[in-house]
Amino acid sequence: MPRALLATGLMLLWTTGTGAQTATPSTASTSWTLRDWSRVEMWRFFEPPAGGGNNEYAFLANRLFGSVQRTARAYDFTAALQYVQFGGLPVDAVGPGPLGTGAVYYAHAGRSDSHQVYLRYANVRLKRLVPRTTIQIGRMPYASGGEAASGNPKIDAVRTQHVAARLIGEFGWSIYQRAYDGVRIDTAPGRWSATGFAFHPTQGGFEDAAGLMMPGVSVVGGAATINSAAAAPAIQSQVFAYRYRDTRAVTQRPDNSGRSATAADVGI
C-alpha cells in the first residue's frame, strides 16, 4: 500500500520600516525580454579510487531566454522560449557515481555538447472572472513561500533570499531549470491572501529534454498569507500544505538498497 504524508507548515517573517503597495496598470501594454547568461564550472571532485572516473574538468554553459508579456485589465499573457548550450561536458567523470554536475548533465544527454530549445513559459492569467481573484492557466513559474508580496521591501527580500522555493521551485541553479504545467488560483480580499494550485512539473534540472511535462508526477497545494497591517506590514505569516505524488515507471529504487523496482510509489 502506498503511504502518503501531507506536508504542512507555518512561516513567519518580520521586519521594521514601511513599503509601498504596487498599483495595477490601467492600460494594456506589451513588453519583450531577451537575456543571455553564461557560466563556466571548474570541478575538482573528491579523489576517486584507482580506476575511477575523471574528477578534474571544466565545462561551459550558456542560456538564452526570450519572452513576450501582454498586460491588460482583464488578463496577462506570457510566452517564453529558452535555448541552452553546453560545451566540454566530461565523458568519463563517473566512477563510483557522478563526479560533479558535469557527469550528470552528460549522463542525461549522452553527448558533451548537450543543448536544447524548449518552451519555458506559456500561460494566461485571468483577472476579472471573480472579484479580487486571479486564475492562471498554462506553463508557469512557481516558488513555494513566495506566493504573496508583502509590500515591505525588507520582508520581500528576506522571503526571496531565504524562504522562497525551499520546498517547491524552478531548480533555479541548474542550467535547464524547471517550470510547472497546470492551474493556479490567487485571491486577496484584504490583509490576507490565499493561493491554490495543481501542477505537473516539467523535466528540466539536468535533463536536456527540459520542456517535457512529467505526467507521472503531481503536485497540489495551497497557502494562506496574512500581513500585520494593510498599509505598512512589519510581519508576514503563512500556513501551507503541499501534496506530492510520484508514480513514474522506474528501474531503480530511491534508496541505497541496490534492489530493482518497476515503478515509483512515493507520496509526500
pLDDT surpasses 50 at 208? yes
Cell numbers describing residue 97: 557515481
Kind and range of the H or E run holding 156: helix 153-162
Residue 264: the pLDDT is 67
Question: What cell numbers appear for 111 in the block?
Answer: 553527448
Cα 220 versus chain centre, distance: 14
- Region 58-66: mean pLDDT is 98
Residues 73-104 pLDDT 10s: 999 999 999 999 999 999 999 988 899 999 99
pLDDT band at 256 (very low <50, low <70, confident <90, very high): low
d(CA 104, CA 218): 24
Q: Work out the pLDDT band at 56, boundaries 50, 70, 90.
A: very high
Dmax of the chain from CA atoms?
A: 67
**Which runs of E-coded beta strand occur in 188-234?**
192-201, 217-227
Q: Across residues 223-236, what is the average pLDDT?
A: 84
**Strand-pair partners of 198:** 183, 220
Distance, CA of 56 to CA of 46 (rounded, Å): 9
- The pLDDT of 198-210, averaged and rounded, is 97
Mean pLDDT of 33-42: 97
Of the listed ranges 15-29, 176-190, 249-263, the least confidently predicted one is 15-29
**Under 8 Å between Cβ of 160 and 149:** no
For the chain, give every domain's residue range: 7-267
Give me the percent of the chain exceeding a pLDDT of 70: 85
Residue 253's pLDDT is 66
pLDDT class for 68, splitting at 50, 70, 90?
very high
Q: What is the pTM of this model?
A: 0.84
The DSSP letter of residue 52 is: -
Query: Taking all residues of the chain, what is their mean pLDDT, rounded to a whole number?
Result: 88
Q: What is the pLDDT of residue 6?
A: 46
Q: What is the pLDDT of residues 109-159, one digit of tens each?
A: 999 999 999 999 999 999 999 999 999 999 999 999 999 888 889 999 998
Task: With a cut of 60, say whether residue 223 has pLDDT above it.
Answer: yes
Flag whether pLDDT at 9 surpasses 60. Answer: no
- Kindly indicate the confidence band of residue 17, based on its pLDDT and cuts at 50, 70 and 90: very low
pLDDT in tens, 234-247: 899 999 999 999 98
